[in-house]
Amino acid sequence: MRIKNGKIQIKNYNFQYWTLNAIIFVLAIITIYSFTTLGLNVEKHNPIFDSHYFRIGQMIESFLKFDLDLKKYFSKMIVSLITTFGLAFLSTVLGLIFGVILALMSARNLSNKYISDLIRGMNTAVRAIPTFLIVLLCISIYGMSGTSAVIGMTFHSTAFFVKVLGETFEEVDEGALEGIKSLGGSWIDLVYAVVLPSSITKIVAWSAFRLEINFGVAVIMGPFAAVQNSIGSDLKRAVSTYNFTEIFMTITVIFMTMYGLQYLAEQLKKRAKID
């Protein structure tokens, strides 16, 4: 902030400022030029414009008709919601079990340096692989089923817990650990007497946060792994039949469930005081 001609100059017009504005200006020109050359206008009835932009009005009109049997829809949706939530919950629980064990072995204050580095390196490699690639590999082994979805999601859940819980365990008070060691306590004693009791609130909070993530992934994995009676499969079927009312209703159910899980995760994170 500078003083210029008796006025306060808030913006700093340096080389970085002008470069950023020049890039934005060039991108804006390219965007405008692209739309003008594509011929996206109503008079020419461009196929791209007709098939995508004009369909929005048809979607709204179909939704306002609300041609949907609510009793039948919600009875089916409850089953689909349970199935999808089951995929998310099972993968979260399995990921938490494996994650806690590996996180204890990756924490530098609880494990050997070489073992810790090995687990951290393998964990980084797993996190770098997209979930759908792991599920695709599982499909080649177990076929199109919920088993493939759960195994693929468990891999990433485990990698997530190893990362966050490993850092959590490293924050345990060193004095308490040294006290147990001085009394002749074993590694198991350290874990059960100090590490887990002092980290339990954060473990619960991170578990709720991961459950929220896994539910969103489970919605996508439903049609990807051909999981029957899942929200994702129902949404895919509604899209393929252009049932816009069911599409909007299903998206609303997904949104409300995600919002509820997010609210639960936020409340638990506040109690655990996780930033």
| DSSP string of 111-152, one letter each residue | S-HHHHHHHHHHHHHHHHS-HHHHHHHHHHHH-SSHHHHHHH
Closest CA to 63 of 245, 211, 264: 245
User: Is 250 in the same domain as 124?
Assistant: yes
Alpha carbon distance 202, 196 (integer Å): 10
Alpha carbon distance 200, 216 (integer Å): 25
Q: What does pTM read for this prediction? A: 0.71
User: Is 192 in the same domain as 234?
Assistant: yes
Give the CA distances from residue 187 to residues 105, 170, 177, 178, in Å, rounded to whole numbers and listed in that order: 11, 14, 10, 11
User: Is 39 in the same domain as 119?
Assistant: no
- Among 35, 63, 91, give the residue marking a domain's end: 63
- Provide the residue range defining the domain that includes 131: 69-272
- Among 14, 46, 63, give the residue marking a domain's end: 63
CATH number of the domain within which 96 lies? 1.10.3720.10
Instruction: Give, for all 275 residues of the chain, the pLDDT tens digit.
Output: 455 555 555 555 566 667 777 788 887 777 676 655 555 444 444 444 455 555 666 666 666 666 666 777 778 888 888 888 888 999 999 999 999 999 988 888 877 888 888 888 888 888 888 888 888 888 888 888 788 888 889 998 999 999 999 888 888 877 777 777 777 777 787 888 888 888 888 888 888 889 888 988 888 888 777 777 788 888 888 777 777 777 788 888 888 888 888 888 777 777 765 54
User: Is 179 in the same domain as 75?
Assistant: yes
User: Is 148 in the same domain as 52?
Assistant: no
Give CA 119 to chain center in angstroms: 23
- Among 18, 33, 63, give the residue marking a domain's end: 63
Provide the terminal-to-terminal Cα distance of the chain, rounded to the nearest Å: 31
